[in-house]
Amino acid sequence: MSPLLLPAPAKLNLSLRVLGKRDDGFHEIDSLMVKLPGLADGLEFREADGFSFQCDDPTLPCDESNLVVRAVRAYETAAGIPCNLSISLKKMIPHGAGLGGGSSDAATTLLGLDQIHEGKLGADRLHELAAELGSDIAFFLKPGAARCTGRGEIIEAAPSPPALRVLLLKPVFCVPTPDAYGRWNASKELPGIRYDAWETEGLSLVNDLERPVFEKHRFLAELKHWLLARDECSAALLAGSGSCVFAVLNQDADAGILAKAARHQLDPGLWHWTGNTGT
């Protein structure tokens, strides 16, 4: 077979409501999610005598704990066939940012394997595998925006929201998703930080995980507050469970100047990316 190259796009939660803790230990959520097609990892599948997996990010494990490898094992078990492939992952989405990089990689792995094996499992079985592997993996199996409920595995196609031009800013540190949800119930709001919904472009942007994440990582609250004070931004929000914060940019905003100012005034190590949400 010829090498198969597939993109694994990042995501943004335009809204994320946490409704309570479930009996299974997860949290019930209601979230509107969109993809960032311009920010994507890359997966390459090559025919091989056995299975191997490589990643160009040395900070990520390439063993059985990696979501790509877990997706391969799940597919092998469900399809009853070995995966004789060499899979290479090129990371562009920062780890621990709340942008869904690992989940997108797992979903794209499932899609790639089923494409290589000529649809052996099909869309419904892939969705089942995705839901078993992680809460928001199923979102990445289909294009477009979606409303995600349950623990994130119930996916309902949503009307395409307006495309937003966004600036993403992330400090060096990461925020583990389980820690953010684990602190949600007992956390308190910080004074002077706005947590209610921002209305922009006909959308209501809100994230209930800001409360626990900002309480522990006050720099992220400061970053959001700083963005909201800038004329270039119409809204700002924590991305998922963080540690990325994104700003919705006004039409004439110079994202490069804004990112430079953030690094100069707040943190010289900030990673940044500018682009549009998918429609």
CA distance 6 to 68: 13
**Structural contact between residues 92 and 39, judged by C-beta atoms closer than 8 angstroms:** yes
CA distance 188 to 167: 27
Q: Where are the alpha helices (DSSP H) in 67-209?
A: 67-79, 101-116, 122-133, 177-182
Is 136 part of the annotated catalytic residue set? yes
C-alpha dihedral over 100, 104, 106, 108, to 10 degrees?
180
Which residues have a Cβ under 8 Å from the Cβ of 138 and sit 6 or more positions away?
Answer: 107, 127, 130, 131, 152, 153, 155
The residue type found at 278 is: G
Q: Of 206, 211, 255, 208, nearest to 233 (Cα)?
A: 255
C-alpha dihedral over 184, 185, 190, 192, to 10 degrees?
90
Determine which one of 41, 105, 114, 136 is catalytic. 136
- Return phi, psi of residue 201, to 5°: 50, 35
* Bridge partner residues of 86 (DSSP): 46, 52
The upper half-sphere exposure of residue 77, i.e. CA atoms within 13 Å in the direction of its Cβ, equals 9
Determine which one of 11, 35, 170, 224 is catalytic. 11
CA distance 194 to 214: 11
Is 11 part of the annotated catalytic residue set? yes
Active centre residues (catalytic): 11, 136
